Amino acid sequence: MRGSGAPGAIIMTRVASLWRYMAAMPSLVPQPIRIDCVRRAVVLFGLLLGSCGPPPPRGDRIDLVLWKNQVGLDEAAITNVLIDRFNAGQHRWRVIAQSLPQGGYDQSIVAASLAGRMPCIVAVDSPMVARYAWAGHLRPLDGQVSAALLRRVSPAAVGRYGGHAYAVGQFDAALALYTRASILRRMHTRVPTLDRPWTGAEFQTLLERLKAEGAYRYPLDLATRDDKVSWWTYAFSPMLQSFGGDLIDRRTMTSAEGVLNGAPAQAFGAWFQALFAKGLVARAEPDENAFVKGRAAIAYSGDWWEPDFRKAWGSDLLVLPPPDFGHGVVIGGGSWQWAISRTCPHPDGAGAFITFMLQDKQIAAMSDASGNVPVTEHAAALSRDFGPHGQSRVFFELMRRFARQRPATPAFPTIANAFTFAMRDVMDGKDVHDSLDDATDDIDRALADTVGADDCGRARGAR
């Protein structure tokens, strides 16, 4: 078992330190017998662990502990393969990976940072990078990962704050509309392309005709049964941007006034509310299989659903860009990224690891094994699935053309919460303008409270 290596190594170091502790207190026990026993036990225990863990360090390798969120089996397996490749490819560093449950990942980072026990390398969710940088959990990548290398990576996959790059992703994700070619033929609707996506009006007409046809109780699935703040912000703030609004004013990064509650945002809110009022979208689907089971004609979801959809509909499946509501197609950019903790004693080792992970070959290996979207042009070309003729190429194109990062500000948790609560109220019929004003006031207050004058300046510089 690959995954058992890391905890095994930790226990070994614990046992070794216990042995040192015992040895330092010789007066407590009849020394010869006891120490001998302990030593023998340690050796036996070590052998036991060694049989299933990685080989013990050779020479003077330095251990670098890495924390990542627990992910799907494919992604976890390929990450371990890449870490093993890194460890085997040089003799200075040895990366030891530990997986933490995703639900409590943020709290674990915060707790570790407060206790001064951060690992050297951490995986960070893209919208949290600014917050971690501001809170002092991370150190800039400056000097550890070359700027030339970062320039090759798609912009949304680099986490910047205060004029510095703090994190960089090996992969990204992409949102798309999924539907079936047979449905569009039946509706006599054109198949949109990346260059000519549906307009908002075209999309609306299609939905209403699908509803009128009567075959679908709710033609569109927006995954609104998932009430998590992360999904609502990731999925629906790009639509808000396509209408011409935004979560906050990205020129100043100090206010949402006029942007989140202006005329374009109100138009977006009214449209969103009408989706539910007209019965085009279910408020809460009973499960997440509305599209797979044929209950919905169109689904709005991420690239991670493509394998299931493909299995259900085969060559009938269409992966389409989201509609252009007037200001271009927008999808969310930025997935989990690698960063170096502030307290890491060997940032050069962490930098070497991140540089290794950004090699086109490793990116392509990650993408082909896990289905995640590669972040460089060359890696995509190397990849089987994301190459010019690969079956998942469309996601790379969507990401390259339309991905926009969520705002890089330490107040992101408040922004995401306020936006989500406002949109859920809008969905349930509350006055659109009032809801957006509420969210705007919450965000502006949080920005004024947390991000004082000095931080605002830094945030502005980050752009």
Partner 1 sequence: MGVRRHSPIAPWLFGAPALIGLMLFLVLPFVMAVILTFTDQRLVSPRPGAFVGLRNYQRLLSVGALVQTPERSAAGAPVYARVRSITRGNRAYAGYRPLTAFRLGNRRVTVLATDPAFLQALGNTMLFAVLVVPLQCAMALGLALLVNAGLRGQTLFRAIFFSPVVMSMVIVSVVWAFLFNKDLGLFNQALGWISLGAVRPVDWLGNPATAMPAIVIMSAWQGAGFQMLILLAGLQGISQELYDAARLDGASAWQRFVHITLPGLRQTVLFVAVVTTIAALGLFTQVDVMTGGGPRGTTATVMFEAVRHGVREENIAYGATISVVYFALITLVIVVQQAIRRRRGGGVA
Residues of this chain that interact with partner 1 (CB under 8 A) are: 110, 113-114, 131, 134-136, 217, 227, 229, 282-284, 286, 413-414, 417, 421, 424-425, 428-430, 433-434, 437-438, 441, 445-446, 449-450, 452
Closer CB to partner 1, 6 or 436, in the complex: 436
Pairing type for strands 336-341 and 164-168 reads antiparallel
Pick between residue 64 and residue 118 the one whose CB is nearest to partner 1.
Answer: 118
In the complex, minimum distance from the CB of residue 113 to partner 1, in angstroms, rounded to a whole number: 8
Instruction: Please say which residue, 366 or 423, places its beta carbon nearer to partner 1.
Output: 423
Closest C-alpha among 60, 117, 67, 53 to residue 92: 60
Nearest approach in angstroms of CB 233 to partner 1 is 13
Contact 261, 437 (CB under 8 A): yes
Helix/strand/coil for 177: strand
- Residue 257 class from Cβ within 10 Å (0-12 exposed, 13-18 middle, 19+ buried)? middle
Instruction: Quote the CA–CA distance of 290 and 71 in Å, as a whole number.
Output: 24
Integer CA distances (angstroms), 113 to 160, 344, 403, in order: 20, 11, 31
- N-to-C CA span, the chain: 44
Q: Given the DSSP bridges, would you call strands 138-139 and 317-320 parallel, antiparallel or unpaired?
A: unpaired
Task: Report CA Rg, the chain.
Answer: 25
CB nearer to partner 1: pick between 393 and 430: 430
C-beta of 401: minimal distance to partner 1 in Å?
33
Comparing CB distances to partner 1, the nearer of 134 and 198 is 134
Of 95 and 290, nearer to partner 1 (C-beta) is: 290
- CB of residue 136 to partner 1, shortest distance in Å: 5
Q: Return the structure tokens found at 17.
A: 């330190």
Task: Tell me 193's DSSP state.
Answer: -
What's the angle, vertex CA 125, arms to CA 120 and CA 127, rounded to 5? 125
Task: Closer to partner 1 by CB, 328 or 429: give it.
Answer: 429
CB of 52 to partner 1, least distance (A): 33
**Considering the complex, what minimum distance in angstroms separates the CB of residue 60 from partner 1?**
36
- Closest separation between CB of residue 128 and partner 1, Å? 11
Query: What is the smallest separation between the CB atom of 220 and partner 1, expressed in angstroms?
Result: 15
**Which distant-in-sequence residues (6+ apart) come within 8 Å of 278 by Cβ?**
208, 211
Please, what is the minimum distance in Å from the beta carbon of residue 287 to partner 1? 9
Residues 6+ apart with CB under 8 A from 368: 383, 384, 385, 386
| 331-333 vs 298-302, strand pairing mode | unpaired
Cβ proximity to partner 1: between 28 and 284 the closer is: 284
Burial class of 429 by CB neighbour count within 10 A (0 to 12, 13 to 18, 19+): exposed
Residue closer to partner 1, measured from CB, 197 or 262: 262
Give the nearer residue to partner 1 in terms of CB position, either 2 or 342.
342
| C-alpha span between 457 and 435 (Å, rounded) | 29
H-helix or E-strand spanning residue 91? none
C-alpha 123/C-alpha 353 separation (Å) is 13
**DSSP 8-class letter at 316:** G
CB of 265 to partner 1, least distance (A): 14
